[in-house]
Structures are given as structure tokens and as C-alpha cells.
Chains A and B, each alone.
Chain A
């Protein structure tokens, strides 16, 4: 078990740029670093009718990666939550070392992709989002969901 502490740079949390082009892929890509997403992947994204798992105001999407068919949609994060893309400049050599993470981008929505299956309310990621509401009902007492923040639902 890791015993070093993990610190997150506060300055980067507030200053990092916003990105609404975060994709949660349906596959594991053995690559960590930059990739020409806008030249390749973004160009394959098309609107693709309707589907049950799509949030109000969003559209079902299709795309392709390495010749395979992907179906997906945009997921807006619940009110009061912000997503961060974190990067570690130095990888630790041992478990004991302290580690420092830096936010490179923040996001309020992301696009998730299934392999060939249209997004539905049965997808793990859609269902996982329900936990936020359930957790606030279980632990948060009388909380106004519309104005929920990570602090008042904890």
C-alpha cells in the first residue's frame, strides 16, 4: 500500500484551461501522451439519431476508431462537479515517495463511447453517475439537489 502522500497543485486547479473534448474510449490504447485527436477522431464524429441513454438536449453520436464502429453521447457532469485531467510530471520509483499531480485541463462534460452499442441507461458509466444522487440522499440529509456541491453532499 502506498504510504507517500499525493499532493495536487492548487494553482493549476484554478488556472488550467477548460476543454470540452474529453473522450472516454471503448478500448484500451497503449499510449500516454499527445495524439492528433482533432485531425483524426473528431472528424469521424456524426450525429446518429436518438437513443435512450442520451441526456436531455444532447444527441446520440457515432464515430470510428481504427476502423471500428463507436456509438456514444455527451455526458454533462452533475451540478457542482468539475472534471480534471491530471498529469504527473515525475513518475515515482517507490511507493514511499511523495507524489505531485497537476491539473492540465478541466471539463464539465465528456463524451463516452461504446463499441457498436448505442448509449443506454444501462451503461455502467450512466449508472455510475446515479451514485452521486444516491450518495447525497444517503449521507447528505436534506440537500437541495439543484444546488448540490461536493461540499454540501459529502
Chain B
């Protein structure tokens, strides 16, 4: 898999195979799966794979299986097999950078991982449709409640048979193939990660899952007290905020108290109406100056 176009690893990237001509005419099945949803390190990768329904048996015989049950080597080999059959199997992947995930999930109006997942899947389906691929059936490994997700997709893509199921990557070869593409890409990005920071970080970051002691140790060792972590890390994971609470200086944002009890503060207590009014009114400066945060200063 050629990911050389990923020069800036803080950005998202879509990579796709050559579109097999047969998929433009023959009815195709499509599978969607993700890799790297749970880890605190590296990108989350969405994979989509498609081939003509008439080739289903042939693909099954290629030996594709759920990427989680395979070793890294087996996945690499199966991806090669997928690539060798490019005359009828097509694929595309969407790499969502850890920087993008952090920024989205920590936004003022939170953009949850489930919403990101749904929107990415929808984006990939649209990519196939706009390329003219004859999509008849779509199989998706579920994110969130399967029925709701299926309804959502079915409303957006009426006329296509959509199946959303848990563990779809083990049940449908087309989803297994998608999961292999996604996992191979994620492994490759993580393995070849070039830290944009001019700092030597250890490569010994373990699996990237928050429960992995190696990952935990790596996070703790790679903390900067001002900036927190390098951009490989998803700041939005609670593992990260816990480490920063202990090892980094505090940072205050103006939306920190957004979900605090501002309503309670706005309510004056009943007794306050009976206390004598303070006659010396605080003279405020003209709004012109207040808008500009300009004040008289006579000492530093």
C-alpha cells in the first residue's frame, strides 16, 4: 500500500485503488470497517472494499478473514492478494489523523467519535457512487446501535440494500477485506510515523491501547509540561487528560465552565431584594473600551 502522499501526518488522507472496470457495470457488494478506534495513539483508519456480487465465491476462496484474528504478517499477505486481484476488487481508505480526532472531539460543540465514524463511512460510500461504481449491497460493521445506524444509512442511500451488524467483519468476506485494508494502512502509518516535533521519542509505545502498560509508560515519558504530548497522541482520550493533570501545568480555556452551573449563578437569592442598595455605582468605562479590553494601567 503506497501511503507516500501522507506527507503531513496531522492531516487526513484518502487513498484509493484503481477502480476495476467490471465494478462500473456489474452489481457490486461493498464492505466498510474501521481500524484503530480504541487506541490513544495514531490515526483511525476507515476502509471500504468492493467487488462484483458474481465474484463473492472467488473472494471467499482467497481466504480473507476478520483482520482481528490475523497476525500482522497474515494481513499484509492478504492485502497483497487483494491487490493482485485488482481486476475485480477495489478499495479505498480514509486516514483520520490523531490531530483531527483530538480537535474534533474537544471542539466547543463536541463531535463524537461515533458521529465522526458515521460521517466518514457516508463519505466513502459517496466516493464510490460518484466514481460510478454499481453499488447494490452495503455491509457495515456497526458503530453504536446497529438498527439506528442502519436506518440512518438507509435514509441517505435509498435503493441500496444496507446491512449493519455487529461483528460484520467476521460474517461477510467483503467487510473482512475492508478491515484488512484499514488495518494494514493503520499499522503502516504507525510504523512509519515521523514525529513532526524535533524531538527523539522512543518507538517503544506498545500497542497504543490505553490499557497496555507499555503505552501508558510511553505516554508518561513523552509528556511536556507545557505542550502535553506530540501529535501522535489523541488528546481527547481520558488516559491523556489524567496524565496531564498530574504531569503538566494547568491550562484554562474560556469555555472550561460551559457545562457548569451557570444557571444557578444567574438566579439572585430572594433575600438580595431586601438588602439596601449600594448607592456608589461602579463607574464603568465606555463600552468602546470594554469591547476592546482596554483599561488604564498604572502599575505592572
Contact = CB atoms under 8 A, between A and B. Distances in A.
A149 interface: no
B224 interface: yes
Interface string B273-300: 0000000000000000001111000111
A87 to B, nearest CB: 11
Give the interface size class of chain B: 35 or more
Contact of B254 (A6, A115, A125): A115
A84 to B, nearest CB: 12
A1 B34 CA distance: 62
Interface of A: 1-2, 6, 26-31, 35-36, 38-41, 43-44, 46, 64-69, 86, 88, 99, 101, 115-116, 124-125, 127-128, 130-131
A116 B108 contact: yes
Given A36-B199, A115-B255, A1 B299 contact: yes
A118 B218 CA distance: 35
Secondary structure at the A interface, as helix, strand, loop or mixed, is mixed
B198 interface: yes
**Dominant secondary structure at the B interface:** loop
Given A29-B226, A44-B10, A68 B292 contact: no
A31 B293 CA distance: 23
Nearest to B253: A27
A38 B300 CA distance: 28
A10 B108 CA distance: 45
A57 B255 CA distance: 31
B114 to A, nearest CB: 19
A125 B224 CA distance: 29
Interface of B: 8, 10, 99, 102-103, 106-108, 196-199, 224-228, 230-231, 233-236, 240, 244, 249-255, 291-294, 298-300
Most buried by A among B199, B234, B298, B300: B300
Contacts of B227: 35-36, 40-41, 65-66
Given A2-B298, A64-B103, 10 more contacts: A35-B224, A35-B227, A40-B230, A43-B198, A43-B231, A65-B251, A67-B99, A67-B234, A67-B236, A128-B293
Nearest to B102: A67
10 contacts: A1-B298, A36-B199, A43-B196, A44-B10, A64-B10, A64-B102, A65-B227, A69-B103, A124-B293, A131-B294
